[in-house]
Structure 1
Amino acid sequence: MRKAYVAAGLAVALVAGLLAASRFIGTPVSSLQLAPRDLVRSVVATGRVEAPHRVELGAQMVASVVAVPVAEGQSVRAGEILIQLEADELSAAAREADLAVAQAQARLRQLQEVQRPVSGQAQRQAQATLDNARAQLQRQEDLFRRGYIGQAALDEARKAVALADAQLSAAQRQHDTTLAGGSDEAMATTALAQARAGAEAARARLQHATVTAPVAGTIIKRDVEPGDVVQPGKTLLVLSPSGETQLIVQFDEKNLGLLVVGQPALASADAFPDQRFAAEVISISPGVDVQRGSVEVKLRVPQPPAYLRQNMTVSVDVEVARRPHVLAVPLELVHEAEGRSPWVWVIEGGRTRQQAIQLGLRGGGQVEVTQGLRAGDEVTAGPAREGARVRASGASS
C-alpha cells in the first residue's frame, strides 16, 4: 500500500513538472514566417472546345447519294470530295450543252468564212452589172439622139440600169449583215453566247452533284449514308475548319467585373486533367444568361494540344489579378476575414499576440496583407489566447 502511495505521488509530481515545463518552454505550435511572394487571383469555370465557326454542308438538289468517302473525326483538305450524288442526267445535259456551243461556234465561223466572202463577191458582181448597164444606157442614148433607135429601146436600157442599181443595193445590204456589227453576225454571236451560258449552267448543275470541302478541317458530324435521297436545305455534314481553336466558357455573373479581354488563362480538358495548356480571353459577351446567371467568355488557344477535340469539356482558370512581391497569409489563419477588423495571431518573444491587419487581393486560398505585418513576422493558428507561451516550428511562406 505504501508503494502505491509513493507511485501515485511520483505520477502527480511528474505531471506537475511537465505542466510547469510547458509553461516555461511553451506549447509547440506550427507557424508561418512571412516573406514576399507573388499572389495571383483567378476565377474558374467550365466550358467546351469550339472552332470560331462551323461549316454546315448539304445538297443543292434532290438526288440519291452514291458515296460518302469521309467519316466523323476525319481531317480533310480543301476541295476534297465529301459526298457524291447520282449525276447521269446532269452529265448528259452538260455534254449536250457543250455540243450546242460547238454548233454555235460553227455557225459563226460559217458566217465569217463562207457567207461573208460570198456576199462580198455578189456585191462586186452587182456593181459590175450596174456599170455595164450604165454604159449600155449611154450608147443607147447616143443612138437615140442620132435617130438609129426608138424610144422603146431607150426605155429598156433605162430599166436595165434601175434593176442593176436595185440589185447592187440589195447585195450591199446583204454583205453588210455579215460584217462585224451586222445583224447576221450579231445573231450568230448572241447564239454562241447563249450556248456558252447554257453550258456553264449545265456544268454548274453537274458540280452540285459533288459536295466538296470549302476549306481544310475536320468532319465533326455526319448525317448521310449512300442510298439516301437528299433534299436541299438539310445539313448532311458539319465541318470544323482548321486554324484557331477557341474555348467557350460560362462564368458566374458575379465575376463579370473581374474579367477583361487579354487576360491569360490555363485550361485543361476533363479527359486529360494533368495536362494544362495556355489560353487568352478574346471576347466577353455583353449580355448575361438569365436562366443560368452566367456570362459567356471566349478564349483563344494559341497552341492547342494534339488531344484536343471539338466539344470537349474543359476547366479554365483565368488570371484576373496579380500582385508581385507582397506579404500573404493563408486565409484560414485570418480571423474575422469578412468583417471590418481582421486580425491574426503573431508570435513575438515566444508568446502569442493578436495583431490587427488590413487585407488586399485574395487568390488561391491566400490573402494579401497590406498593413499590420512585416517580412519575417511569424503567424500561427493559436492557442486562442493573448500572451500564451508557445514554441514555434516556423516555415517560410
Structure 2
Amino acid sequence: MGFAMSLIQNLRVYRTQILIACTVLGLAVWLGLNLWLGPKTPVAMVVQRDFVQTVVASGHIESPHRVDLGVQITGTVKAVPVNEGQTVTAAQPLIQLEDAELVANARQAESAVAQAQAKLRQLREVQAPLAEQTMRQAQVNQDTAARALQRTQELFSKGFIGQAALDEATRAEQVMRSQLKITQQQLSSTRAGGSDMAVAETALSQAQAGAELARARLRYSQVLAPAAGTLIARNVEPGDAVQAGKVLMVLSPEGETQVVVQIDEKHLNLLKVGQTASVSSDAYPDQRFTAELMYINPGVDAQRGSVEVKLRVPQPPAYVRQDMTVSVDIEVAKRSQAVLVPTEAVHNLDSPEPWVMKVVNGKAVRTSIRLGLRSQGMCEVLEGLVANDQVLATAALPVNDKARVRPVSNLVAK
C-alpha cells in the first residue's frame, strides 16, 4: 500500500515533464514531415479546350458624323420647340427667331417686284402700241410732206412759185422726216432688245433679286433639321440674343452606328478589318451586341500610345445612345483544343523564354514553355506542358527549383 502511494506521487511529479516531452516529440515529427513533404502550395491544373483570343478595350458610341447647327443672322430667339435627346425628322423646326421686321421687309420687296412687273407690262401693253401708232402717223406725215415737196419743185421749175415757197416745202419735209426717225427709235426702244425694254427688265430683275434676298433672310429666321436624327446638344433658350457662327445645337443624323475605341499599339499586329467583336455598355452589362471592325487608323497617337479603331454596328439595340461608354472584346484569333495555363502562373511572361514551376512527383520543377495566344488571363502553351499537368498557381510564390511542395486547392483553368 505504501509502495503504490509512492508510485502515484512520483507519476504526478513527472507528469508535466512527460507532457512536455510528448509535445516536443510531436512537433519534431510534424516539422520533419513538413520539411520532407514541402509546404502546402496552391496549384493550377493545365486544361485543353477551344480558345479564343480577344483584345479588350473601352470606347464610345458614335455616328459617322455630327451636324453643328446655328443661325445665319443675328437675332433674338423666339422659340425652341425641341429638347436635347429628342428624335427629329428632316425639315422639322428647331429654332425660331423674332421675324416681324423680316416679314415686313419681305412684303416690301414683293411690292417692289409687283411694281416693276406693272411697269414692264405697261411698256409692252401701252407704250409699245402707242409708239407704233405714233410712228405710223409720222410715216404718213412724212409721205405727205414728201409729195408736197415734189409738187412744189415742179411748180418752181415752171416758174409758178417763188424760192420762198420751195424752201418752206423743203423745210416741212425735213421736219417730217426727223419726226419719223424719232418715232422709229421710240418704237425700237419699246421692243425686245430696246433701251426702254432693257431698263424695265433690269428693274424687274433687281426687284426680284431683292425679294429673294428678303425671303432668304426670312428663312434664316428659322433653323430646320437638315436630316432626321437625334438632338444630342442644345445650348439655346427663348429670349437669347444669338449671332451667326455660334453653335447652338448638335444633331446626330440617322445612319450607321459606330463604336470608336483606342487600342494599345502593342496589339496592332493582331487587328484586321472584318474581325468581329462583342460589345456591352456599362449601363446594360448583360445585354451584349455584335460589331465588325471596319477601320484601323494608319497613324498612332504618340501621346497615348494607341491606335483609333472603328467598328460597325449592323443592328444596334434600342438602348444605345450617342457617346455611350462601351466595352469591346475584339476576336483576333481562335484555337481548337488549345493547351491553356493561367497567365499569373507564368514567369517572364513577355520575355523570349517564359517558364513555369511544374509539379513533378511532389517537387516544383522549373519548366520552359513556348506561348501562343493570350487572352482573359489565360495563355496558350505550344510546348512544355500538356493537359492535366499541375503548375504553381502564381509566379509570385518564392519556391526554389526542385523544392518539395504539397499541391492544394487544385485551381482548374477556366
User: What TM-score comes out, normalization by structure 2 length?
Assistant: 0.78
Alignment correspondent of 1:241: 253
Given the alignment, which residue of 289, 301, 304 partners 1:277? Answer: 289
Secondary structure of the structure 2 residue equivalent to 1:94:
helix
Secondary structure of the structure 2 residue equivalent to 1:381:
strand
Alignment correspondent of 1:5: none
Alignment correspondent of 2:207: 195
Given the alignment, which residue of 68, 72, 83 partners 1:60? Answer: 72
Task: Provide the aligned C-alpha RMSD in A.
Answer: 3.6
Report 1:52-131 matches (<5 A). Answer: 52-131=64-143
Deviations 1:248-270 (A, max 9, x none): 32333433443344432222111
Report 1:281-300 matches (<5 A). Answer: 281=293, 282-284=295-297, 286-290=299-303, 292-300=304-312
Given the alignment, which residue of 155, 166, 171 partners 2:178? Answer: 166
Kindly state the Cα deviation for residue 204 of structure 1 after the two structures are TM-superposed. 0.5
Pair 150,307 (structure 1): closer, same or farther in 2 beyond 3 Å:
same
Alignment correspondent of 1:176: 188
Secondary structure of the structure 2 residue equivalent to 1:315:
strand
Kindly state the Cα deviation for residue 241 of structure 1 after the two structures are TM-superposed. 1.3
1: CA distance, partners of 2:411 / 2:166: 145
Q: Is 2:60 aligned against 1:48?
A: yes
Deviates further, 158-167 or 225-234: 225-234
2: CA distance, partners of 1:173 / 1:123: 9
Kindly state the Cα deviation for residue 52 of structure 1 after the two structures are TM-superposed. 2.2
Kindly state the Cα deviation for residue 394 of structure 1 after the two structures are TM-superposed. 12
Deviates further, 126-135 or 295-304: 295-304
Kindly state the Cα deviation for residue 187 of structure 1 after the two structures are TM-superposed. 0.5
Kindly state the Cα deviation for residue 373 of structure 1 after the two structures are TM-superposed. 5.4
Given the alignment, which residue of 124, 127, 151 partners 1:139? Answer: 151
Confirm or deny: 8 A CA contact 2:139 2:180 kept in the other structure: yes
Kindly state the Cα deviation for residue 92 of structure 1 after the two structures are TM-superposed. 0.6
Pair 206,118 (structure 1): closer, same or farther in 2 beyond 3 Å:
same
1: CA distance, partners of 2:348 / 2:159: 148
Kindly state the Cα deviation for residue 369 of structure 1 after the two structures are TM-superposed. 2.6
Deviates further, 379-388 or 311-320: 379-388
> What 5-or-longer segments of structure 2 have no aligned partner?
1-7, 9-21, 394-398
Secondary structure of the structure 1 residue equivalent to 2:334:
strand
Report 1:337-348 matches (<5 A). Answer: 340=353, 342=355, 345=358
Deviates further, 139-148 or 170-179: 139-148
Confirm or deny: 8 A CA contact 2:69 2:249 kept in the other structure: yes
Kindly state the Cα deviation for residue 214 of structure 1 after the two structures are TM-superposed. 1.1
Confirm or deny: 8 A CA contact 1:41 1:361 kept in the other structure: no
Secondary structure of the structure 2 residue equivalent to 1:133:
helix
Opposite residue 91 of structure 2, the aligned amino acid is G
Opposite residue 313 of structure 1, the aligned amino acid is T
2: CA distance, partners of 1:223 / 1:40: 44
Opposite residue 206 of structure 1, the aligned amino acid is L
Pair 345,254 (structure 1): closer, same or farther in 2 beyond 3 Å:
same
2: CA distance, partners of 1:70 / 1:386: 74
Opposite residue 90 of structure 2, the aligned amino acid is A
Opposite residue 205 of structure 1, the aligned amino acid is R
Number of positions where the alignment pairs a residue of Structure 1 with one of Structure 2: 372
1: CA distance, partners of 2:258 / 2:366: 49
Kindly state the Cα deviation for residue 235 of structure 1 after the two structures are TM-superposed. 1.9
Pair 382,60 (structure 1): closer, same or farther in 2 beyond 3 Å:
closer
1: CA distance, partners of 2:279 / 2:338: 26
2: CA distance, partners of 1:131 / 1:237: 78
2: CA distance, partners of 1:206 / 1:250: 45
Opposite residue 333 of structure 2, the aligned amino acid is A
Secondary structure of the structure 1 residue equivalent to 2:389:
strand
Kindly state the Cα deviation for residue 221 of structure 1 after the two structures are TM-superposed. 1.4
Given the alignment, which residue of 221, 236, 258 partners 1:224? Answer: 236
Opposite residue 158 of structure 2, the aligned amino acid is R
How high is the sequence identity, in percent, across the aligned residues? 52
Secondary structure of the structure 2 residue equivalent to 1:243:
coil
Kindly state the Cα deviation for residue 224 of structure 1 after the two structures are TM-superposed. 1.5
1: CA distance, partners of 2:212 / 2:405: 96
1: CA distance, partners of 2:392 / 2:109: 95
Kindly state the Cα deviation for residue 331 of structure 1 after the two structures are TM-superposed. 3.6
Deviates further, 245-254 or 224-233: 245-254
Q: Is 2:378 aligned against 1:378?
A: no
User: What TM-score comes out, normalization by structure 1 length?
Assistant: 0.81
Kindly state the Cα deviation for residue 356 of structure 1 after the two structures are TM-superposed. 5.2
Kindly state the Cα deviation for residue 121 of structure 1 after the two structures are TM-superposed. 1.0
2: CA distance, partners of 1:192 / 1:90: 21
Alignment correspondent of 2:50: 37
